[in-house]
Amino acid sequence: MIVGAGSAGAVLANRLTEDGRTTVILLEAGGEATSFLVQLPVGFLRLLMRKEYDWSYEAEPDPSLGGRSWIWSAGRMLGGSSSINGQVYIRGTAHDFDQWAEMGATGWSFREILLISCARSIGWGRRPRRTDRPGRSRSPRYATRIPSATPS
């Protein structure tokens, strides 16, 4: 039984049932992600703070904010926060992945992660560019390298 059909829960349910024999129950507190605002790249801005789509958690009062509390958005529908996120993709640094592998996370070195098909399919590694057919490509609209993010 998996509680929450968000980014992690949905992927986990998919992986666990890959063999065709395993059955899982995936429970989701929110509704379906059918609003066109979910599909629209910046549509999520119109979904924030709407209780049927956004949990809008209220954080504890923070002394460093003069006792004010902050609202934390989190998706409340199929897809969870991935249904209201900004679709910004940032790969972690090679150093972090390699360190996890050294600590025993077999298969998580940066080189091994690079082989994951989804990373390849978005065209990472090509030079930064704007796609020639916006909206029709599976690649990101913009790709930018941030060299200083990787320690030398």
Ligand X SMILES: Cc1cc2nc3c(=O)[nH]c(=O)nc-3n(C[C@H](O)[C@H](O)[C@H](O)COP(=O)(O)OP(=O)(O)OC[C@H]3O[C@@H](n4cnc5c(N)ncnc54)[C@H](O)[C@@H]3O)c2cc1C
**Dist CA 34 CA 109 (whole Å):** 37
* Nearer CB in complex with ligand X: 81/109: 81
| 49 is a site residue for ligand X (CB under 6 A) | no
Q: How far is the CB of 100 from ligand X (least distance, A)?
A: 18
Q: Does 131 bind ligand X (CB under 6 A)?
A: no
82 binds ligand X (CB under 6 A): yes
Q: What is the DSSP-derived secondary structure letter of residue 151?
A: -
**Window 13-42: residues binding ligand X (CB under 6 A):** 27-30
The one among 53, 75, 97, 110 contacting ligand X by CB under 6 A: 75
Q: Is 96 helix (H, G, I), strand (E, B) or coil?
A: helix
Q: Which amino acid is at 108?
A: W
Distance CA 100, CA 13 (A): 25
